[in-house]
Amino acid sequence: MIALDHIAIWSDNLYRTTIELSRMTGIGSADGGYFPGLGLGQKIISLGGGVYLEIESIVDHTMIAERKPLALELERQTAAGDCFAGLCLRSDDLDEIARFAAHRGVEVATGIAGGKEVMVPRQKRGKAAHAPDFLGSWLLGKPNIYYVADLDTHSSTLPAQPGTGDVRGLGVTSLELGGDEASLREWLGDIDPAELGIDIQFNGLADGLYAVGFDSTAGPQVIRLAPITL
Q: Does 206 map to a domain? A: yes
Q: Does 162 map to a domain? A: no
Span 118-177, pLDDT tens digits: 555 544 455 578 999 888 899 999 999 999 988 888 999 999 999 999 999 999 999 999
Q: Does 210 map to a domain? A: yes
How many folded domains does the chain comprise? Answer: 1
- What CA–CA distance (Å, rounded) separates 153 from 148? 10
Which residues are registered as beta bridge partners of 130? 109, 146
Span 75-130, pLDDT tens digits: 999 999 999 999 999 999 999 999 999 999 999 987 654 334 555 554 445 557 89
CATH code (residue 31) = 3.10.180.10
Do 195 and 219 contact (CB within 8 A), yes or no?
A: no
State whether residue 127 is helix, strand or coil. coil
Sign of CA dihedral 156, 46, 218, 201: negative
Going by C-alpha positions, the residue among 66, 74, 54, 64 that lies closest to residue 6 is 54
Span 29-77, pLDDT tens digits: 999 998 888 899 999 999 999 999 999 999 999 998 999 999 999 999 9
* Total-model pTM: 0.94
Instruction: Give DSSP secondary structure letters for 51-102.
Output: EEEEEEEE--HHHHHTT-HHHHHHHHHTTTS-EEEEEEEEES-HHHHHHHHH
Residue 68: other Cβ atoms inside 10 A: 17
Range of the domain at 211: 2-157+167-227
Q: Does 41 map to a domain? A: yes
- What CA–CA distance (Å, rounded) separates 18 from 70? 21
Q: Does 194 map to a domain? A: yes
